[in-house]
Amino acid sequence: MIKQKLLWVIIVIGFGLPFLIGCGNIEPIAELSDVQGTVSVKSKTAQNFSTGIAGNKISAGDVVKTERDSEATIKFLTDETEITLKSNTYLEIDKVAEFEIKQKSGIATYKISPQQKNIKITTPQGMATVLGTVLTIDAKENETTVSVEKGNVDFTKKDGSKINITEGRMYSTGFKENKARKILKTPVLKLGTDEVALFYGEGKNKVSYINENKYPGIEEPIPFGPLSFRIIDNTFWVADSVAGKLIQLTRENKQLREISVIPSNQPKPTPAFENDPCLQVLIEDFAPVRDENGTAYSFWVAESMENRLINVDFTGKILHTITNPDFKQLYKVEIGKGGHLFVADKGAQRIFIYDKELKFVEAVSWEWSGFAVSGDDDVLYRIFFTQETGLLTLVAQNREKQILRETELLLPIHLNPELCWVDESKQECLITYTPKTGFAGKFMVALVGFDGTVRKTTEMTAPIAMNRYIERYNNKVWIADADFNTAPETLFKIKPFKLY
């Protein structure tokens, strides 16, 4: 006798409403097994529930109900069909002969033997017609989501419209369009030594994102996620750029703080097009403000939706805001030990400088190539490309506008250089760049001495669209590991990088 293959059907139902199966005098079709926690059963003719135990016979129209942290399996007697009920599930099999199911809430996993007739699963928002497939249904009071792992499902909404959902795709009645989308899988959190990570999504330990997975048809040229991270006072800080928040993580990957930088009186924008994310802010970068003991107590945040600088403390109180009619596309921000505030603007191609009293000092030229601030007197370091020689020149300038250093850097031919930091004690700087052959998912990372010679070169996987993706702390280096195109199926991770 050839053993028939079994087909798995996973039914995930939102919490709260009833779903039927139980014990009665009608000829049994199944029995209860693998009971864990609090499980109740009720026959079709009974008025009240009774305690469910392993071995209870189940007939058509009976009810099985599981409570929180409880589970039970219904095993059919005529074949190898099984239905495993998870926590807070209430289930009814309406017609066994035609296998019609009413699904209102809860979580149930279906293992169904091959059969000739379609399975019909009715939810509050419509009916799924299934023939030999694996799927997940999340049925809530106001929304039903159908995800197909294997096979094919037709979902008919109450208004009569029909959506075909093929393998690896999902549909929700909450979608604006009657069209299935790719199933998005939650990644497994695996961390190496000195690594921290956040999931993509909404809520604690998550960061927001914008891409085709979340906003189908969106016309953004690049995806968005966290654009900057820093290591401050032995903790990791991540800019949840899309949500307008700063998140603090311990070295053990525990969230300590979540600070919103959105002014409380700022209205939410009106959607300008379909699937408009309607961002109130977009955090490009942030820099810590320190007290006389060197302890960080607030941040200056560069945000580009309104092109402004926002000073926010650790409680979320907004202390100051700086605007400037010449701001066009803020990019990076730094604060020197002397208290000067530097903000690079890609649109203006300038670095705007403010003193510690927040008075505007000057705007200096800049070539989209990073910058660094060093020393007690806030020396500004920039790099410039010289057309005649084809080389970069490292330029250091103090607050009195004196040029302290001009050094040609003997890097190979390259594209898109970014000055990330300088170390005056080691007489060197760190620059990332794209090889001359073009971008292929990697940046080159170079330590260059103040004499212009390249001391070390290595490569790193490039996180697309990030502004601050490499950081140094206590002579160790960390980089961001991020792919915003694949969110939420991957993680936003910060991990050690071997440089020294």
Q: Is the pLDDT of residue 122 over 50?
A: yes
pLDDT, tens digit, 9 for 90 and up, residues 307-332: 999 999 999 999 999 999 999 999 99
* Residue type for position 101: I
Q: Is the pLDDT of residue 97 over 60?
A: no
Domain end among 151, 182, 213: 182
Q: What is the C-alpha to C-alpha distance for residues 491 and 475, in angstroms, rounded to an integer?
A: 26
| pLDDT above 70 as % of the chain | 93
Lowest mean pLDDT across 18-32, 109-123, 273-287, 426-440: 18-32
Q: What residues pair up with 61 in beta bridges, in sequence order?
A: none
Regarding whether 214 and 113 lie in a shared domain, the answer is no
479 domain residue, yes or no? yes
Q: Is the pLDDT of residue 3 over 60?
A: no
pLDDT, tens digit, 9 for 90 and up, residues 466-488: 999 999 999 999 999 999 999 99
Please give the residue that has the higher pLDDT: either 114 or 495. Answer: 495
CB 410 within 8 A of CB 454: yes
Residue (of 415, 416, 453, 452) closest to 437 by Cα position: 415
The pLDDT of residue 291: 93
188 domain residue, yes or no? no
Please give the residue that has the higher pLDDT: either 119 or 160. Answer: 160
Residue 123: pLDDT band by 50, 70, 90 thresholds?
Answer: confident
Domain end among 134, 158, 182: 182
DSSP state of 224: B
DSSP string over 134-150: EEEEEE-SS-EEEEEEE
Regarding whether 148 and 42 lie in a shared domain, the answer is yes
Residue 332 parent element (H or E): strand 330-335
Residue (of 370, 374, 342, 373) closest to 355 by Cα position: 342
2 domain residue, yes or no? no
Regarding whether 396 and 314 lie in a shared domain, the answer is yes
Q: Is the pLDDT of residue 248 over 90?
A: yes
* Residue type for position 9: V
CB 226 within 8 A of CB 245: no
Regarding whether 435 and 472 lie in a shared domain, the answer is yes
Regarding whether 389 and 360 lie in a shared domain, the answer is yes
pLDDT, tens digit, 9 for 90 and up, residues 198-244: 999 988 889 999 998 888 877 777 899 999 999 999 999 999 999 99
Domain end among 128, 147, 182: 182
| Total of domains in the chain | 2
The pLDDT of residue 342: 98
- What are the C-alpha distances in Å from 136 to residues 63, 148, 170, 225, 402? 21, 6, 9, 28, 67
Please give the residue that has the higher pLDDT: either 140 or 245. Answer: 245
| Residue 251: how many other CB atoms lie within 10 Å | 12
> What mean pLDDT value characterizes the chain?
88
Q: What is the C-alpha to C-alpha distance for residues 205 and 253, in angstroms, rounded to an integer?
A: 9
Please give the residue that has the higher pLDDT: either 335 or 439. Answer: 335
Specify the pairing of strand 341-345 against strand 330-335.
antiparallel
Give 12's contacts (C-beta < 8 A, 6+ positions apart). 107, 108, 136, 137, 138
CB 22 within 8 A of CB 43: yes
CB 372 within 8 A of CB 431: no
Strand 414-423's sheet: what is its strand order? 414-423, 428-435, 442-449, 454-461
- DSSP, collapsed to helix, strand or coil, labels residue 365 as strand
CB 392 within 8 A of CB 410: no
The pLDDT of residue 22: 43
Residue 9: pLDDT band by 50, 70, 90 thresholds?
Answer: very low
CB 440 within 8 A of CB 415: no
For residues 372-386, give the mean pLDDT.
95
Q: What is the CATH number of the domain that holds 461?
A: 2.120.10.30
Give 182's contacts (C-beta < 8 A, 6+ positions apart). 168, 169, 170, 213
CB 241 within 8 A of CB 227: yes
Q: What is the C-alpha to C-alpha distance for residues 197 and 190, in angstroms, rounded to an integer?
A: 9
190 domain residue, yes or no? no
- What are the C-alpha distances in Å from 334 to residues 109, 327, 468? 53, 16, 11
Regarding whether 227 and 171 lie in a shared domain, the answer is no
Joined together, the tokens standing for residue 213 give: 């997975």
Regarding whether 143 and 235 lie in a shared domain, the answer is no
Longest Cα–Cα distance of the chain, Å, equals 96
Q: What is the C-alpha to C-alpha distance for residues 119 and 154, in angstroms, rounded to an integer?
A: 11
For residues 357-364, give the mean pLDDT.
97
The pLDDT of residue 169: 92
Residue 464: pLDDT band by 50, 70, 90 thresholds?
Answer: confident
The pLDDT of residue 132: 64
CB 282 within 8 A of CB 241: yes
* Domain range for 175: 7-182
Regarding whether 206 and 121 lie in a shared domain, the answer is no
Q: What is the C-alpha to C-alpha distance for residues 327 and 214, in angstroms, rounded to an integer?
A: 30
Regarding whether 262 and 117 lie in a shared domain, the answer is no
Regarding whether 406 and 472 lie in a shared domain, the answer is yes
Q: What is the CATH number of the domain that holds 154?
A: 2.60.120.1440
490 domain residue, yes or no? yes
The pLDDT of residue 137: 81
Regarding whether 148 and 53 lie in a shared domain, the answer is yes
Burial zone of 225 (CB within 10 Å; 0-12 exposed, 13-18 middle, 19+ buried)? buried
187 domain residue, yes or no? no
- Has this prediction a pTM greater than 0.85? no
Backbone torsions φ then ψ of 157, nearest 5 degrees: -80, 165
366 domain residue, yes or no? yes
* Residue type for position 34: D
Q: What is the C-alpha to C-alpha distance for residues 325 and 333, in angstroms, rounded to an integer?
A: 17
The pLDDT of residue 98: 61
Regarding whether 388 and 445 lie in a shared domain, the answer is yes
pLDDT, tens digit, 9 for 90 and up, residues 61-75: 888 899 999 999 989
191 domain residue, yes or no? no
Q: What is the C-alpha to C-alpha distance for residues 168 and 315, in angstroms, rounded to an integer?
A: 43
